[in-house]
């Protein structure tokens, strides 16, 4: 593009130079030769300046183009390296996912991530690789609040699905997706044959976890009755979306149970406090009765003292018996003791 522009400008400059030379020749025929040369030189001076400016611009454009080409070449090299790395990583992923054990481990990792996201703690809300009495071993056992379990298996078919991704022929791709749906159903039959729910307190189903949404969606495109066929075998097909909904529902049940447990503990603590207050009230009432009995005994003693001692002392004083200190009457206690109702705290 730069070369075409430079060529067009050079052609235009050549035309201008030709016109100026023609004008100079015509003037030279009517004037002395020395004057014509001077005028020609004066006319060509701007042209030379423009040509020099055009040369500098062309050289700058050439340098910029070389720099841009070098940058593009470097970027293309980086893209090629990344593409090669992506191809290698894809090949490694394909080789890794070809093994059922590796697929199961990856499914378990995805499932554990969902469990953490739902706020569940291993050993409290779920257990991994819990061996049943029959020798079967689900990947994850989710403990339900209040008792019960939900058994989850994270192994899934993948080969036909992976081949369908890179398949360009539509008929062949449809065959692979149909095979993938058949593989999913076969895995559901396998889980149903293990009889997980027969040897546990779980509900009457087992969850088959598919860690990719597309693993189920393409299966349903190939076999719209796949879910119903799996349900008939007491197997629930769950993707990350439905699985996180199930786990959050269970986590909500734990929260409600914790609130109920706390309310029961508060009620029990309140009942214990009322029982202790009632016992304390009994003790206080016993002290009140004891004080009343002591007051009655004291007042009876004071009455007897006045009748038996003080009167006799006054007679002795009247008969001339002198004592360093006289005998005086004692005052009775007349303070009322507050009477409470101990049965008030015992009432429900």
Tokens of 340: 């409470």
Give the residue from 238, 255, 282 where a domain finishes. 238
Give every CB contact of residue 144 below 8 A, 6+ residues apart in sequence: 150, 250, 253
Instruction: Tell me which residue range forms the domain holding 307.
Output: 272-344
Does the pLDDT at position 211 exceed 80? Answer: yes
Residue pair 183/160 in contact (Cβ under 8 Å)? The answer is: yes
User: Nearest to residue 114, comparing CAs of 254, 213, 246, 236?
Assistant: 246
> What DSSP string runs through 8-51?
HHHHHHHHHHHHHHHHHHHHHHHS-HHHHHHHHHHHHHHHHHHH
Say which DSSP state 122 is in.
B
Between 347 and 74, where is the model more confident? 74
Give the pLDDT band (50/70/90) at residue 20: low
Average pLDDT over residues 128-154: 79
Output the pLDDT for position 348: 45
Distance of CA 270 to the CA centre of its chain: 38
Give the pLDDT band (50/70/90) at residue 186: very high
Average pLDDT over residues 203-209: 84
Output the pLDDT for position 86: 64
In DSSP terms, 208 is beta-bridged to 153, 237
- Let me know whether 132 and 158 are in one domain: yes
Helix axes 100-117, 33-97, angle to 10 degrees: 100
Number of domains, the chain: 3
Output the pLDDT for position 89: 57
Domain assignment present for 263: no
Output the pLDDT for position 345: 45
In DSSP terms, 206 is beta-bridged to 235
Domain assignment present for 83: no
Residue pair 236/188 in contact (Cβ under 8 Å)? The answer is: no
- Let me know whether 183 and 225 are in one domain: yes
Q: Which residue has the tokens 């009343």?
A: 292
Does the pLDDT at position 136 exceed 90? Answer: no
Distance CA 234, CA 325 (A): 107
Lowest mean pLDDT segment, chosen from 166-175, 177-186, 198-207? 198-207
Domain assignment present for 108: yes
Does the pLDDT at position 92 exceed 70? Answer: no
Residue pair 47/20 in contact (Cβ under 8 Å)? The answer is: yes
Output the pLDDT for position 347: 47
């Amino acid at each position: 593009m730069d070369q075409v522009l430079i060529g067009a400008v050079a052609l235009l400059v050549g035309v201008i130079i030709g016109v100026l030379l023609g004008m100079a020749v015509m003037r030279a025929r009517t004037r002395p030769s020395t004057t014509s040369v001077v005028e020609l030189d004066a006319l060509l001076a701007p042209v030379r300046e423009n040509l020099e400016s055009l040369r500098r611009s062309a050289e700058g454009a050439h340098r910029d183009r070389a720099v841009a080409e070098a940058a593009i070449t470097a970027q293309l090299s980086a893209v090629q390296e990344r593409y090669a790395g992506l191809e290698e990583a894809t090949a490694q992923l394909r080789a890794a996912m070809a093994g059922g054990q590796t697929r199961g481990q990856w499914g378990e990792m995805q499932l554990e991530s969902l469990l953490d996201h739902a706020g569940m703690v291993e050993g409290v809300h779920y257990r991994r690789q819990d061996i049943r009495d029959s020798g079967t071993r689900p990947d994850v056992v989710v403990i339900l609040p209040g008792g019960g379990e939900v058994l989850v298996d994270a192994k899934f078919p993948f080969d036909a699905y992976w081949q369908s991704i890179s398949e360009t022929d539509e008929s062949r791709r449809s065959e692979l997706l149909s095979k993938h749906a058949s593989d999913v159903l076969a895995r559901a039959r396998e889980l149903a044959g293990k009889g997980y729910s027969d040897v546990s307190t779980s509900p009457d189903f087992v969850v088959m976890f598919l860690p990719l949404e597309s693993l189920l969606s393409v299966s349903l495109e190939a076999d719209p009755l796949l879910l119903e066929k799996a349900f008939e075998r007491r197997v629930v097909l769950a993707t990350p979306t439905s699985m996180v909904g199930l786990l959050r529902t269970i986590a909500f049940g734990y929260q409600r149970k914790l609130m109920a447990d706390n309310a029961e503990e508060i009620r029990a603590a309140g009942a214990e406090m009322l029982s202790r207050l009632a016992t304390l009230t009994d003790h206080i009432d016993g002290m009140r009765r004891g004080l009343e009995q002591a007051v009655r005994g004291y007042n009876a003693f004071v009455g007897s003292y006045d009748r038996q001692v003080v009167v006799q002392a006054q007679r002795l004083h009247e008969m001339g018996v002198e004592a360093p200190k006289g005998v005086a009457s004692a005052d009775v206690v007349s303070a009322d003791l507050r009477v409470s109702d101990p049965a008030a705290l015992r009432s429900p």
